[in-house]
Every structure is written in C-alpha cells, then in structure tokens.
Amino acid sequence: MSRLRFTCTTLVMVLVVGLLVQCRKDPIKGWTYYHAPPPPLKIVRTTSLIKNCTAPYPVSFTQQTENLIGNVRYFWDFGDGNTSTDRNPNHIYATPGNYRVKLLVMNEISSDSTMFSLSELANSSIPVNAVFGFTHFNNNNFAPNKVLFSNTSTGANQFYWYFGDGGESNNDNPEHVFQNAGSYNVRLRGTCTNGTFNETVRQVFVNPAPRRVVIDSINLMLPRAFQSNRIYIEMYHNSILIGRTAILSRGSYPIKFRRPNDFLGGYIFDFVQFSGNEVFKFLVLRDNGADIPPDLVSEILLSSSFIQSRFYPRQYFQIEPIPFREDTFIDLYLDY
Amino acid sequence: MKNLIKASVIGLLLLLRVQLVLAQPDIRYLDNTGVFKMGGGTLTPGQDFSKSSGNGLHAKPGHQVNFAFNYIISHGIGIGAHLDVNRFRFNEQSFLMQTNPTNYRILGKFASTKLGLNLVANVPIVIHQKHFTVNLFGEFQAGLRGMKIPSIDLRFSELENKFVEVNYRSRNNTMGYLGGNAGIQLLFSNKIGCYAAYHLTLRSRHSIKYSVRAFDASGQLYEDENYLNNYLDATGLQFGVFFVFGK
C-alpha cells in the first residue's frame, strides 16, 4: 500500500514539474533575419572657403555626406561652366560674379543634391578674416595633448600659426602636440596676396596627465572551446593584484564586465604615474572550481606609456587577440 | 539433407509454438528490479519546428542518444530518471534562402539535452521462465531540457542590406517538456536484452533565446536579444540495450 502511495505521489510530482515549467506565454515567433534596406545618401554639410581677397579667387569646396556605401560618385557644377568629379575639389574663379554651385552625390541605390550661392564673389574685393577651430584628439585634454586645428579663414591664402609653446606652422590645417599642461594662446595670421592680413587668437587648455585610470567595462568574446566555462579577469597594477571581476559565463555572450557590479575589490588604478612606465595587467582566467587553480586564457598588458603615447583613447580594441582561434575579441573601456 | 533441414525447421516451429502456448503475461515478473537502458535512434522535428518559411525554425531530422534507469516497484509500474541528448540538423539551405547572404558560416545544430523523471509501466510476457521474456513497456517522461541554436555568421552586400554582418549566438535556455516512449523489450536470461521504441516529445510551445551582433557598413554595432518561440515537438525511433538488476 505504501509503495502504491509513493508511486502516486511521484506521478503527481512529475506532472506538476512538467506542466509548471512549460507555461511560457511568449508569442509564436520564428527567426528574425535582420534585413533592412541600406540607408540612402544624405548631404549634411557643404563648405566653401575663398582663399584670396582679389580675383582670381581659389575656392576650396568640402562636403559631408552620410551613408557612404557602394561606389559613391560626386558631381560639382561650379556655376561658371566648369565641373568636377572630385570629392572635395578646389576651383579658381577668374572673375568676380554671382555664382551658384550645385553638388550631386550618387551611388548604386540613391542620390542626393544641394545648391548654394557664392555671393561673396560678387564683390571686387573680399575682406581677410582669420578664423579657426580646434578639437582635442580622443576628446581629452591631458598632457601630452594632440590638438587638431581646422582653418576656416576667408580671403587669405597664406597662414602662420604660433602655438604659444614655441611651436610654429604654416600649414593650412595643422596638428600640434602640447607636451606639458598649461594654457596656450594660439595665434593664426592669415595673409592675402596683396599683403592684407588678419589675426585671431584662441586659448587652448591642457590638463596635467591624469592621476588615475578607471576601468568602465570590458567586453570579452572567447572561442567556442570556452563556451561552457566560467570566466573572470584579474587586474594587476605593477604586478600587484588590485582586484578581480565577478565570474561570468558564456551565457552573457559577449561576456561583459561592467562597473561597478562586475568588478570586485577595486576597479580603479590609483596614483598612476603616466610619466613612468607602469604596467596594467589583465589576466583572463577560467574558473575550475574552489580547489583547482584557474587556467590562463589570455593575458593583456597595457602600460601607462602606451596609453600616453596614444593620447588616452577611451577604448582599446582587440588589445591581445588570441591567434588561430575564432571569435576572440577584447574591448577595454577606460576612463581617466 | 533436405529432409533433415525440413525436420529441423518443423521441430523449431513446434518448439516455439509450444513455448508460445506456455507463454503468459506476468505483470509482477519485473517487480523490485532495476532496469538500466541505453540506446539511440532517429529524431524527426515536428511541423512548426521544421517549417522552412514564415515562423519556421528550419530544423531537420537528427539523432538522439538516451540513458535511463527505472526501478519497478509493483505490478509492473516503476519510476526512474533519464538523460537524453538530442541533435536536430539545421536546414541551412532554407535559412539561407530567407536571409540571402553573400557569405556565411554556420556551425553546430539545434542541440538539446533533456533530464527528467520517468513513470514506467511494463507488461512482461514470460516465454521461458529463465531464458526469454518479451516485455511491452510504456514510459511517461517529464523534465527539463536545454536548447541551443547553431552559431550563425552572415555577411551581406552593403547595397542589399543595412547590416553587412549579422552574428547569431545561442543563449542558455532551459524549459520543461513532457514526452514518452512505448515499445517492446526482449529480455534474455533475466539479465540483458534489447529494445525498440517509439519516442514522442509532446507538442508544446517554448522560447529559445539568442543574441545578435550586427554591424552596418560604417562599422556601427547593433546588439539585440531575441528569441524563437514555437512548438518544439518531435518524434523518433529508439533502439538499444538494457540490463536488469535484482532479478
């Protein structure tokens, strides 16, 4: 009798378990094929810089077009009977006049066009106006700092740059590396062929080298051989263990270690001497359980001089790819 | 010589007939024994699982490997546990017709591992008390199963698709299932035997999660979490051997 009761209880238990776990209510859905039409070309910006104050007028045309796919062709009509198929052409207007410029951009699937007027050329002389902008390389201003200057002056065809740290250049659009922190007065002088000139000054601030590195996240994609493994990363600063990540599995493909929850015991490398050659080491390890030492999957070395020489990029892509294996990919996201 | 062969055949038939006449169902014959069976066989996905268009999952027939242990408690009824490894081939051709990539790489199959409990009923027919028994059995199964999709990498022309690279990878999926086997077992010397059975995984809907990484022509990354949801029923034939303990 007791056996029969046991059998019945087991039957009910099995039925309940089976029925409970299959009560999913998601709608019926097959594969999503991720097909979408390619985006059409779109001209988002055109610029024209007149590089003299009297005729003849050299003009530099630039355009910015989005969704550049396929075989992209450009057709410029300068409005004086001349045309060009260059991407960013230069053209010389021999005489003053009111010119209308047309740009047509085409590829195999779409085209876009725009039209603009060069009304300044209607006058017999154009004032010299020195104008420039700048951006910090990698969007940071830590020393050493590379600055990219963009010259948007009109009416001038010769340029002199004084960077304020002793450096000079006469390129149209120079780059300059400020080695030390400080505030620099950058001066641009634009000169026309008749000697007329104009100057402008802008300040560039460069911050001291950062004192710390913050690891925002690490994306890790491993070969299929590690598909079922539990993976974590140990982080060292000058051979001293700073902390480690949580243990994640391939189920969170690609494995994403994100601040703060996935970084245990410290994720900030503090008091980093960027003038020295401090080494950040990341060991990708396979967890083998409590009593068995982990296996080393990959080792990433990142020195402070390496970071400094590349002007502190936020993302280090595929720092240490494992050769001859598929699906290996490591992205390291840093903040300073 | 011909007569000798004829006489032998007739003799054997007579002996078998006598044995069959003596054969009788003994529902308690296997009580208090343990049965371990191992086998494999074919596997055919159900209609929606194998559908190659619309909401289909593009599964093709595959194979199964099974292990089970049952303890017969009383009146031929017993309980046990099973471990099944199922593989369904992936219908690459129909999938590629839907996606139309310029280049592709597909690794693996629909891979499922099932772990669950059995409720088994036996009707042993004893042909010879010590040497030969025919057992008709039915097994009801319930448990958990994992299911993974193949790893799929597709490349597209930038002029045909916004996404020039699409990578599908499986997430871990666990779901419940109900199923069963029914078949015949031939038991020799009350110790070892062979069996053939029809397997059925019942029709029920489940979700299979997967992740997608897609890149457009400018290298912009799009990440997505997605799932398949459909009826994952299957049928198949099993063949194998089994061992009886405690008889």
Of the three residues A187, A206, A225, the one that is the final residue of a domain is A206
Domain count across chain A:
3
Mean per-residue pLDDT, A11-23 = 53
In words, the CATH class of domain B26-245 is mainly beta
Do A187 and A75 lie in a common domain? Answer: no
Domain ranges for chain B, please list them: 26-245
- List B237's β-bridge partners, or say none: B198
Asked whether residue A26 is assigned to any structural domain, the reply reads no
Q: Which residue has the higher pLDDT, A254 or B231?
A: B231
Inter-chain residue contact A7 with B214, CB threshold 8 Å: no
Do A218 and A328 lie in a common domain? Answer: yes
Inter-chain residue contact A19 with B176, CB threshold 8 Å: yes
Do A81 and A100 lie in a common domain? Answer: yes
Mean per-residue pLDDT, A262-288 = 85
Collect all residues with Cβ–Cβ distance below 8 Å to B120 and sequence separation of at least 6.
Answer: B70, B72, B77, B78, B79, B80, B137, B138, B139, B140
Chain B residues touching residue A17 (CB < 8 angstroms): 117, 142-143, 176
Do A237 and A324 lie in a common domain? Answer: yes
Where residue A57 sits, what CATH number does that domain have?
2.60.40.10
Do A230 and A297 lie in a common domain? Answer: yes
Mean of the per-residue pLDDT values of chain A: 87
Mean per-residue pLDDT, A156-161 = 95
Model confidence, pTM: 0.70
Percent of the residues in chain A that have a pLDDT greater than 70, as a whole number? 88
- Give the range among A204-213, A252-261, B191-200 with minimum mean pLDDT: A252-261
ipTM > 0.85 (yes/no): no
Chain B residues touching residue A35 (CB < 8 angstroms): 99, 161, 163
Mean per-residue pLDDT, A254-274 = 82
Inter-chain residue contact B230 with A7, CB threshold 8 Å: no
Do A65 and A118 lie in a common domain? Answer: yes
B215-219 contacts at long range (C-beta below 8 A, 24 or more positions apart): B215/B163, B215/B164, B215/B165, B216/B162, B216/B163, B216/B164, B217/A38, B217/A67, B217/A68, B217/A69, B217/B158, B217/B162, B217/B164, B218/A67, B218/A68
Q: Is B208 exposed, middle or buried (0-12, 13-18, 19+ CB in 10 A)?
A: buried
pLDDT in tens, A41-87: 999 999 999 999 998 999 999 999 999 999 999 999 999 999 999 99
Segments forming the whole domain that contains residue A154: 132-206
Q: Which residue has the higher pLDDT, A12 or A33?
A: A33
Do A62 and A113 lie in a common domain? Answer: yes
Asked whether residue A21 is assigned to any structural domain, the reply reads no
pLDDT in tens, A165-205: 999 999 999 999 999 999 999 999 999 999 999 999 999 99
The pLDDT, as a whole number, for residue B122 is: 96
- List A240's β-bridge partners, or say none: A237
Sign, CA dihedral A251-A252-A256-A260, equals negative
Which of the four pLDDT bands, split at 50, 70 and 90, describes residue A292?
confident
Tell me the HSE value of B61 on the side-chain side, using a 13 A CA sphere: 7
Inter-chain residue contact B159 with A26, CB threshold 8 Å: no
Do A237 and A308 lie in a common domain? Answer: yes
Do A82 and A111 lie in a common domain? Answer: yes
Q: From CA A142, how far away is CA A308, in angstroms rounded? A: 9
Q: How far is A181 from chain B (nearest CA, A)?
A: 34
Of the three residues A122, A156, A172, the one that is the final residue of a domain is A122
Do A47 and A85 lie in a common domain? Answer: yes
The pLDDT, as a whole number, for residue B28 is: 94
The pLDDT, as a whole number, for residue A26 is: 78
Whether residue A280 is predicted with pLDDT greater than 50 in this model: the reply is yes
Inter-chain residue contact B117 with A15, CB threshold 8 Å: no
Which of the four pLDDT bands, split at 50, 70 and 90, describes residue A24?
very low
Do A218 and A331 lie in a common domain? Answer: yes
Asked whether residue A33 is assigned to any structural domain, the reply reads no
Q: How far is A106 from chain B (nearest CA, A)?
A: 13
Q: Please list the ranges in chain B whose pLDDT falls under 70.
A: 1-2, 4-5, 7-22
| Closest residue by Cα to residue A102 from A90, A117, A92 | A117
**CB contact at 8 A, A115 and A101:** yes
Do A276 and A243 lie in a common domain? Answer: yes
Inter-chain residue contact B228 with A253, CB threshold 8 Å: no
Asked whether residue A20 is assigned to any structural domain, the reply reads no
